[in-house]
Amino acid sequence: MMAEKEWLSKLKPLASNNIQWQAYEQMLEYYLVMQSKKIEQATEPAELYRAQGAIAALRKLKTLRDEIHASN
């Protein structure tokens, strides 16, 4: 998909800046912990499924740097 390559290209400065990337990863880790807590506290199946979906999306975002570097 052409748009995806364009987006990844525009994100290269973020992936190349270690300070910014570490902050990004710390933010993702924080949200992963929050979603894990939601799973532990879920009382309804829908709450559990939403948190599982959020975790899947956050884990996908953690691989963004690899996708950016592979898009050369």
Q: Taking the model in full, what pTM does it have?
A: 0.85
Residue 2's pLDDT band, with cuts at 50, 70 and 90, is: low
Q: Is the pLDDT of residue 1 over 90?
A: no
Is it the case that residue 64 has pLDDT exceeding 90? yes
Range of the domain at 31: 2-70
Please name the residues in contact with 61: beta carbons below 8 A apart, sequence gap of 6 or more: 28
Q: pLDDT tens digits, residue range 4-54?
A: 889 999 999 999 999 999 999 999 999 999 999 999 999 999 999 999 999
> Into how many domains does the chain fold?
1
Q: Is 58 within 8 Å of 2 (Cβ atoms)?
A: no
